[in-house]
Structure 1
Amino acid sequence: MSKGILLAWIVSISAVLGSLYFSEVRGFVPCEWCWYQRILMYPLPVLLGIGLFREDRAVKIYALPFAVLGIAASLFHYAQQKIPYFASLTSCSDGVPCSGEYINMLGFITIPLLAFTAFSIITAALLLSKK
């Protein structure tokens, strides 16, 4: 069993559970870009779990595109929250604005930054896992 794939699986499960906690327990309504990040994160526990169960290191080929696209999506979403120029680029007009911040710990830790961190750890763990 690859420790890198195991770490990526644990992080992906944690991210999905955190996402569900924010929406279902805390009542935070996801914005459009939050949904894009969820679309990219939610398949990862399943893909990586199957890869672990089957001891298939090729799962990296299937999981990496989700994680790398997730890095880009969460980085753009974070920029929308923290850089006024990027907030004007969004098409989020219905419901919750994408530039809104439900949490803002220490002045910079927001939900998109948490997603960016999870996607980055998953990507690094998969890239550094043994072949």
Structure 2
Amino acid sequence: MSKKVENLMLGSWLTALTAMLGSLYFSEIRMYEPCTLCWYQRIIMYPLVLILFIGYLKRDVNVALYSLWFSLIGMFTSLYHYSIQKLPFLTDAAPACGRVPCTGQYINWFGFVTIPFLAFTAFVVIFICSLLIIREK
């Protein structure tokens, strides 16, 4: 395995790990209760931490195919969640999503960075790394 592929695998894993630890920080330290769509994003992200770590340890580039699909699904989930937070015509029509509304914004850094935006960014990074690994393979 080339050094480039090894670095991409490590970068993917570190991105997933950071996203997982960030979501745990928001819920366990800051006490922000996750909404239903946040839980779906966690369900997609958390296994990536384990899958990518095992793939990195075993030097198995085939995990990029799995991380590609997980991250693609995660990207669409996060993009939908972000859209119902930021687009007024979707916010008004958003369905009730449990005890915590999915349209709520615990953080809103710089006027656009919300928790789903952070998740979307992590999924995009993992997706791009996975594509590059598959291309190099």
2:132 and 2:49 map into 1 onto residues whose CA distance is 18
Contact 2:85 2:105 in 1 (8 A): yes
Aligned partners of 1:31 and 1:92 also within 8 Å:
no
Q: 1:115 to 1:97 in 2, by over 3 A?
A: same
Aligned residues: 131
Structure 1 partner of 2:42:
38
Of the structure 1 ranges 93-102 and 108-117, higher mean CA displacement relative to structure 2 is found in 93-102
Q: Which residue, out of 16, 23, 27, partners 1:23?
A: 27
- One-letter code aligned to 1:35: W
Please give the alpha-carbon distance, in whole angstroms, between the structure 2 residues aligned to 1:94 and 1:49. Answer: 33
Amino acid at match of 1:60: A
Question: Please, what TM-score do these two structures have when normalized by structure 1?
Answer: 0.95
Structure 2 stretches of 5 or more lacking a match? none
The equivalent residue for 2:76 is: 72
Question: Helix, strand or coil: the match of 1:100?
Answer: coil
Residue pair 1:68, 1:123 contacting (<8 A) in 2 also: yes
Partners of 1:90 and 1:47 lie apart in 2 by 33
**Superposed CA offset, 1:45-74 (max 9, x none):** 100011011110000111111100000000
Q: Structure 1 vs Structure 2: percent identity of aligned residues?
A: 48
**1:57 is matched with which residue?**
61
1:4-19 correspondence runs (5 A) = 4-19=8-23
Which amino acid in the other structure matches residue 125 of structure 1? C
- Determine whether 1:122 maps to 2:126: yes
Write the letter of the residue equivalent to 1:46: L
Shift of 1:12: 0.3
Preserved contact between residue 5 and residue 52 of structure 1 (Cα < 8 Å): yes
**Unpaired stretches in structure 1, ≥5 consecutive residues:** none
Residue identity opposite 1:30 in structure 2: P
Correspondences of 1:79-90 after superposition (within 5 Å): 79-90=83-94
TM-score (norm 2): 0.91
